[in-house]
Structure 1
Amino acid sequence: MEPGVLCGGCFCGAVRYAVQAVFDAGYCHCSICRRISGAGAVCWFSVREEHFRVTRGHPQALHSSEHFTRYFCGACGTHLYGTDDLPPPPKVGSRLVSAMLGTLDEPELVPPRIHQWWSSRMRWYGDAAGLPTFDTGRISHPDERPVRS
């Protein structure tokens, strides 16, 4: 891998991509991202269009709104990235590709920096920091956990 290049792909490996020069990263709380992912919020990162390339496979497209197209693996269904269908923002100078942070091979290298669509968040989202934590998939019965005040 070239220095400064991050790689990622879908769950089954049919689609792979490479990026350089991450532009931004954050959480999106919009209702479309929640529906597409099945999660309360998604983590994404963006790169300029010229810094993103698919290196293997052929992602399928889904126009999820009048201004955004999402791409996913046709074999395993992983939502990989999306592109803005509007002209590039003048302050950025390029279209941005927003990729799902969890599809990176090394997602720890790109920490989220913002919350987007915060006004659309699930109201309980801010309480997540105080929840019990478990280091593995083995969790205690809900009746056996400490009660939060």
Structure 2
Amino acid sequence: MQGHCLCGTIRYEFDPPVLSCVSCHCDSCRRQCAAPMTTYFGVRDGQWRWTGESPKTFNSSPGVERSFCPNCGTPISFRSQAMSDVLHLYVATLEDPNQLQPTLHVAHEERLDWLKLDDGLPVCIGPDYTKVQPIS
């Protein structure tokens, strides 16, 4: 599977399977992607590779590194110290974003009040992804 930024400078490919595919509502993801939420998927190191230029990185908070294209600004990925062997790439950067579908909403407590979801996916409140509850 492959993906790229808007201008095509940053390109990547990875070998399935992915570890997870989730929609995130946290303030940091919203600000990086300039969207009310974003959807990303996790791939273990060794399963992915840059096939174009490497992106630039920004340390958005302690233990979190976010990457983006220095030419067009497209957000590409993030890496968390808590999951240091996993790269999380944004679904919207895939050649075919319909290839992956989210299975969970994370950081649901930070969602924007006006964003109404009715997709039936469970939600996760807080950093412990084991505490999942049905969306309400």
Corresponding residue for residue 14 of structure 1? 9
Task: Give a deviation string over 1:72-121, Cα, whole Å, max 9, x none.
Answer: 10000000011123464xxxxxx111111000001101011110100110
Task: Quote the offset at 1:126 in angstroms.
Answer: 2.2
Number of aligned residue pairs: 118
Q: Against the structure 1 CA distance between its residues 59 and 128, is the aligned structure 2 distance closer, same or farther, given a 3 Å change threshold?
A: same
Cα distance in structure 2, aligned partners of 1:61 and 1:99? 13
Q: Which runs of 5+ in 1 are unaligned?
A: 1-5, 89-94, 130-149
Cα distance in structure 2, aligned partners of 1:50 and 1:127? 35
Larger-gyration structure (1/2): 1
> What TM-score do the two structures reach when normalised by structure 1?
0.74
Q: Against the structure 1 CA distance between its residues 102 and 87, is the aligned structure 2 distance closer, same or farther, given a 3 Å change threshold?
A: closer
- C-alpha root-mean-square deviation of aligned residues, in Å? 1.5
Q: Matched residue of 1:36: which SS?
A: helix
Q: Which 4+ runs in 1 deviate beyond 2 A?
A: 85-88, 126-129
What are the equivalent positions in structure 2 for 1:36-115 lying under 5 Å apart? 36-86=32-82, 88=84, 95-115=85-105
> What TM-score do the two structures reach when normalised by structure 2?
0.81
* Same amino acid, percent of matched pairs: 30
Report which of the two has the higher share of helix.
Answer: 1
Q: Which runs of 5+ in 2 are unaligned?
A: 120-136
Task: Quote the offset at 1:28 in angstroms.
Answer: 0.4
